[in-house]
A and B are shown apart, each in its own frame.
Chain A
């Protein structure tokens, strides 16, 4: 049991740290757009680079951040009833609703992995050498969804423990 708890803590820490690191992606998004603006207004050059980078980083930012936001309960839920449940009843409710979470995330992960397997090995050169590469987008999205799935499973195990024993897993 101690080993299990330690393992779950590792998952939590992974979600925390990816989230905290990914959150700085917003600075890259801002920076790349500002770069495009400066190029256009000062040097009257168009920059597809700036626009493409912002779009691709945005995609990865939202996908990689999902595990962190799930971990800190960042999503809104309706807790009129849920709030009144005992801790044990809450964990049972969570176990039931976990099915829906699992279906959603697994379906997404399956498709993301399939897409990555299809596109990442084909070395897709950008039309110009210095354009932003395609591969991080394909590889990081499945990673982000997997982290979300792991975080969900970790919460499931905790809930299961609480539902059975009535205590919380450290």
Chain B
């Protein structure tokens, strides 16, 4: 069989299975099993199990369920609700203040959790109805919460960055550091966008009515809710960046820290604890199995020769580095519409990482470039996980099309950030380079 026919079969069967509604994991795994046995050799069925052993024996990956547990526990601890109460008191006469505050909370939560869904679901239950009640435009409300949630994977800690760091062989701490400036910049741009829009059209995001504004005393006392989250952030990020402990240890301490936090605010009960455990298992299994299946699948396409083919293709692209980055960007946007970020990472890494290296680009920079793209993947239809989460918490009667529309400005801001970090890589590399200097 010719190479073209085999690769058509490989990707064609994958697409048919996915369109018929099979979860991506089983589509990747099943197709990989067949192709490895038929086009490599029959004994290669072993590869899939060895991939499972290989991935699940990677020492750093033990931190993944721990960070997930942190997110799940935090989601149930009600800390996000308390933070929203603070924002509510402080936003007072500012048009769009609640929405800007929501982005701020998402940023703070992002510094505690490494996933995209946690901040979204908690803010979706508290901030969303509250803002709608105060007469906020629902597009701004849904957009800022769905987009704010994605900050979780760019601002450290971040689960997907950990996986990328292991796959690309770069330092986790360095990659985490690299995510901070672009993450804060992104949050700042979200806030600026909301602020400008709300002040041009205050009808979209009215200031609080006079009788609901808090006194200075109330404002100051409400600040006590900020203490715990900030302590937790300092504990986790400090331990990572000062190299006090390995990533697994940091994650374990963080997990215990969230349990303590939940206990301090008196929301640690059996029900919350149990549900946090179930949810942790669900997300961990989902992520780890997709890593395994995607690794096997990438093995299959490497074997049939797709890798060399793509590399030859990239070699003849015009405009040098810029052309290649542009093509990668388009590929990421396209894949992001259909696949989940962990699948995209495992599928694209064997092709892109060698190319990036041969171009002389920094793999840490490419990691941030990739993660910002994955933030967009969470927001781009038809398969954007945050859109589904948003659908679950959106006001009744909201259609999917309205949710798509609400995230457009935020996706555009993300594109702007991608352009910025491509043109000025110093935005990304400044902090990690400081680490090298020290």
Contact = CB atoms under 8 A, between A and B. Distances in A.
Interface string A70-83: 00101111111110
A110 B45 contact: yes
Contacts of A81: 19-21
Given A26-B280, A94-B21, A107 B33 contact: yes
Contact of A69 (B27, B29, B282): B282
B17 A111 contact: no
A111 B27 contact: no
A163 B219 CA distance: 61
A54 B57 CA distance: 10
Contacts of B248: 33, 51, 54
A81 B258 CA distance: 40
Contacts, number: 175
Nearest to B55: A62
Interface of B: 17-27, 29-34, 45-46, 48-50, 52-53, 56-57, 59, 61-62, 65-66, 69, 245, 248-249, 251-253, 255-256, 277-278, 280-286, 288-290, 293, 338, 340, 382-383, 385
A19 B255 CA distance: 20
A34 B252 contact: yes
A58 B19 CA distance: 32
Interface string A18-48: 0110111111011001101100000000000
Given A74-B285, A78-B383, A100-B27, A107 B22 contact: no
A55 B256 contact: no
B253 A37 contact: yes
B22 A97 contact: yes
Given A62-B284, A72-B282, 12 more contacts: A26-B284, A30-B66, A30-B255, A33-B252, A34-B253, A61-B65, A65-B285, A66-B289, A74-B285, A75-B290, A77-B22, A97-B27
12 contacts: A19-B281, A24-B277, A54-B62, A55-B59, A59-B56, A62-B288, A69-B281, A72-B282, A76-B286, A103-B29, A105-B26, A112-B49
Contact of B56 (A24, A62, A104): A62
B285 A66 contact: yes
Interface in A89-103: 90, 93-94, 96-97, 99-103
Given A26-B65, A54-B62, A99-B30, A75 B49 contact: no
Interface of A: 19-20, 22-27, 29-30, 33-34, 36-37, 51, 54-55, 58-59, 61-63, 65-66, 68-69, 72, 74-82, 85, 90, 93-94, 96-97, 99-105, 107-108, 110-112, 115
A3 B340 CA distance: 39
Given A26-B69, A61-B281, A78 B338 contact: yes
A22 B56 CA distance: 16
B284 A96 contact: no
Contacts of A75: 23-26, 286, 289-290
B277 A78 contact: no
B34 A103 contact: yes
Contacts of A103: 29-30, 33-34
Contacts of A65: 281-282, 284-285
A95 to B, nearest CB: 10
Given A54-B62, A55-B57, A107-B48, A20 B30 contact: no
B131 to A, nearest CB: 28
B277 A26 contact: yes
A62 B280 CA distance: 11
Which of A34, A76, A96 is most buried by chain B, counting CB atoms within 10 A of its CB? A76
Contacts of B19: 78, 80-82
Contact of A115 (B49, B56, B66): B49
Contacts of A97: 17, 20-22, 26-27
Nearest to B284: A62
A165 to B, nearest CB: 21
B15 to A, nearest CB: 10
Contacts of A69: 281-282, 285-286, 289
Contacts of B69: 26, 30
A51 B252 CA distance: 12
A128 B49 CA distance: 28
B25 A58 contact: no
Smallest CB-CB A-B distances: 10 pairs: A100-B30, A82-B21, A104-B29, A111-B49, A75-B23, A97-B22, A33-B252, A23-B281, A23-B277, A69-B285
